[in-house]
Amino acid sequence: MRLWGRATILRRMLCLWLLLLGFTLVILLLSDFFNRGGIHSLQKLGPPRRPFQRFRPPDMEVIVDSRDPALQLGVDLAPLKSLQEDQLLFVPSSQGSKSPPQKRANYKVLLPAANKDATAPGEGDPQVHLEELEKNLQLRYGFNEGFSGSLHRSLPEVRSHGCFEEQYSESLPLASVIICFHDETWSTLLRTVHSVLDTAPNQFLQEVLLVDDLSQHGHLKSALSQYMAHLEKVRLIRSSKRLGVAGCRTLGAARAAGEVLVFMDSHCECHKGWLEPLLERVAQDRTRVVSPIIDVIDWETFQYNATQWPVRGVFDWRLDFYWESNPQLQDKDPDMDNKPVQSPSLGGEVLAIDRHFFQSVGSYDPGMLLWGAEQIELSIRVWSCGGSMEVVPCSRVVHLNHHKLPYTFSDQELLQRNKIRIADTWMDAYSKIFYRRDTLAHFIRQSESPNIAERLQLKRRLGCRNFHWYLTTVYPQLYIPQDRPGLSGELYNVGTGSCADYSRGQGLQGGPMIIAPCSGTGSQHCDLNFEGEVRWGPMGALCLDAKLERVVLSPCPILRPTTRRLQWKFIKLSGQLVHQQSELCLEAVKEGGLLQSRAKEFNTHINTGSLFLRPCTHHNRQQWYFEQLVTPKGA
Ligand code: UDP
Ligand code: MN
């Protein structure tokens, strides 16, 4: 009996051990899978990675140009508030003669000559060695991008004539250009660095600070270190933690020595004379944050698109950012060709800001995750807390617009969380307008609260103004939706079971309305206001309009009262939406023979049908409901 008992216990223990072993194996496999998935999700074009490459802790190092003593002594090692000190490690220098930058206990500094790799070019003419190095890399990583030729490419001259007569002060503050990168393509990254070195006047360039945000691509490891070690004024900092855009830039800023910080994406090319106009504007007013005009090179076609002036940065009620060309500016100045234009927001591509102002206004929000909306947060904060923003037309930088890999769901959620921080920190009661147009954010917000106590404290400490002030003073062009219950939300059609929709790709100029499956995301939100306009889209700048019998969207008029053609009346009892001028009713028409021919006429894609004006009947295709999807708190 006792023997039997012991055997059972032994057998049970064995089972337990086996179970534990199995469980550990599953956890290991899962973590491996997620590690790889996470890396893939934001990965950009680059050399093919070896299959099943395991995550390896990166070599952490900082390179300081050994030929520039000022850099070694002048590195500002201000204490990092938002980052852990142990996120950085500097590899020791063998050049004992020169005093290394101020050391903190867990930092070391690597000087380029310390590199012991015998095959690495380190002496003699740096240009020859760079070419050699590139060739080696080409063999090693199989690049087909053609290096040297393309590293210094000339750009078409697109500045206005007035710009060539502009005079800039000879004693401008020095700039630290901070370039964060995560798995950037080799040639693109190098072109960015070279283009800064080629165009920034030596006397105004303190340094180029490359900050590696935990890249995984092989070529961005020691090969990049070797390459950059040969470039004067270039420093490379590596983070051992993925910081995201905001965190990475904050790290760069904390290490920068220049008076003015210039944040730049890792896929840019600078026009001649881009830096001086920016520095001049910041020097004149240290609370001014400035951006060049951002021209665009398409990643795939390499087509160069010069951005039309005037241009300014704006965002919509979903907190998505746009550059808006030829905006309806209040004070149109005939002489504005080379005068800066104030901008409610600035894109993050290139941004110049006084270093002290950047720190005092709260740098980037350390709670911002990986990517997205951090520039909107900075913009609202700068304006609300005593600064200003503008686009400077005599400065132009090109940004390579890449076609993003589709975001995985979790990346989307990260972006939503960033937006929630903005809404809850800065938008006061206006945040409801955001949550109605972004239901995913609403649901995330319902289950968790952002940790924004410190940011709210900062806001109080700086005496920042409220969002109402921002809307009325800085960005009065943004339509403020009324969102009345029963008269706003998704416009649901009973007859077809679909919702009124508009393909965003058609742009801000408007186009035909369609019906499509109801998205439930808030992207189909519209707002029938007191004036009778049905305002569409996250900007609320497009109005439901009629072209003959076809229902379209067109830009809403700025002047009040609105035009009669844009006025609609909703009859709650019957669900009819009546076009005031024609007294016809809005009808959803599913795809059919007639419709196909109409579709061609209007040159549109029809998913499930279109919207027409028809004599009013009680058919359920003319029966509509405004469905509010969410009720944000306090609404
Ligand atoms: N970046 C980074 N860490 C990240 C994501 C992006 O350092 O987690 C860098 C990226 O390499 C680029 C800049 O931040 O230099 C802005 O990112 P991206 O160009 O993807 O933004 P976009 O221009 O598309 O808004
Ligand atoms: Mn970019």
If you average pLDDT over residues 551-564, what whole number do you get? 89
Inter-residue contact 289 to 273 (CB < 8 Å): no
Element (H, E) at 41: helix 2-41
pLDDT-derived band at 582 (thresholds 50, 70, 90) equals: very high
Inter-residue contact 395 to 273 (CB < 8 Å): yes
- Closest CA to ligand 1's atom 8: 244
Sign of the alpha-carbon torsion through 247, 250, 256, 261:
positive
Tokens of 3: 């023997």
Instruction: Give the per-residue SS3 of 353-384.
Output: EEHHHHHHCCCCCCCCCCCCCHHHHHHHHHHH
201-234: burial string, b at 16+ Cβ within 10 Å, e else = eeebbbbbbbbbbbbbbbbbbebbbbbbbbbebb
pLDDT of residue 155: 84
pLDDT-derived band at 330 (thresholds 50, 70, 90) equals: low
**Nearest ligand to the CA atom of 220:** 1
Sign of the alpha-carbon torsion through 95, 80, 386, 353:
positive
82-106: burial string, b at 16+ Cβ within 10 Å, e else = bbeeebbbbbebeeeeeebbeeeee
Per-domain residue ranges of the chain: 84-102+148-156+172-400, 409-474, 488-627
pLDDT-derived band at 408 (thresholds 50, 70, 90) equals: low
Evaluate if residue 71 carries a pLDDT over 50: no
pLDDT single digits (tens) 28-37: 555 444 443 3
pLDDT-derived band at 606 (thresholds 50, 70, 90) equals: very low
Residue of 382, 455, 462 whose CA lies nearest to 425: 455
303-316: burial string, b at 16+ Cβ within 10 Å, e else = eeeebebbbbbbbb
Tokens of 35: 């590690």
Lowest mean pLDDT among 194-208, 211-225, 318-332, 388-402: 318-332
> Which among 40, 182, 368 is the best mutation to test ligand 1's pocket, defined by most ligand atoms within 8 Å of the CB?
182
Is domain 84-102+148-156+172-400 in CATH 1.10.3720.10, yes or no? no
Distance between CA 209 and CA 513 in Å, rounded? Answer: 48
Backbone angles phi and psi of 125, in degrees to 5: -65, 115
Pocket of ligand 1 (CB under 6 A): 180-182, 184, 213, 244-245, 248, 265-266, 348-349, 370-371
Q: Is 267 helix (H, G, I), strand (E, B) or coil?
A: coil
Percentage of residues in the chain with pLDDT exceeding 90? Answer: 60
Q: How far is the CA of 372 from the centre of ligand 1 (A)?
A: 9
CATH number for the segment(s) 409-474:
1.10.8.460
pLDDT of residue 126: 47
Evaluate if residue 381 carries a pLDDT over 50: yes
Lowest mean pLDDT among 147-161, 302-316, 440-454, 470-484: 147-161
Residue with tokens 């020691």: 222
Q: How far is the CA of 170 from the centre of ligand 1 (A)?
A: 33
pLDDT single digits (tens) 176-234: 999 999 999 998 999 999 999 999 999 999 999 999 999 999 999 999 999 999 999 99
If you average pLDDT over residues 475-501, what whole number do you get? 95
> Which among 265, 296, 298, 376 is the best mutation to test ligand 1's pocket, defined by most ligand atoms within 8 Å of the CB?
265
If you average pLDDT over residues 464-489, what whole number do you get? 96
If you average pLDDT over residues 133-154, what whole number do you get? 52
If you average pLDDT over residues 129-154, what whole number do you get? 54
Question: Exposed, middle or buried, 574 (CB in 10 Å: 0-12/13-18/19+)?
Answer: middle
pLDDT of residue 559: 80
If you average pLDDT over residues 391-399, what whole number do you get? 96
Conformational region of residue 71, where left means phi above 0, alpha means psi within -120 to 50, and beta covers everything else: alpha
- Closest CA to ligand 1's atom 16: 265
**Nearest ligand to the CA atom of 398:** 2
pLDDT-derived band at 385 (thresholds 50, 70, 90) equals: very high
- CATH number of this structure's domain 488-627, picked from the four choices 3.40.50.920, 3.40.50.720, 3.40.50.150, 2.80.10.50: 2.80.10.50
Q: How far is the CA of 36 from the centre of ligand 2 (A)?
A: 23
User: How many angstroms separate the most distant Cα atoms in the chain?
Assistant: 104
Backbone angles phi and psi of 280, in degrees to 5: -60, -45
Element (H, E) at 29: helix 2-41
Q: What is the CA radius of gyration of the chain?
A: 29
Residue of 512, 570, 496, 509 whose CA lies nearest to 545: 512
pLDDT higher at 18 or 56: 18
pLDDT of residue 26: 55
pTM: 0.78
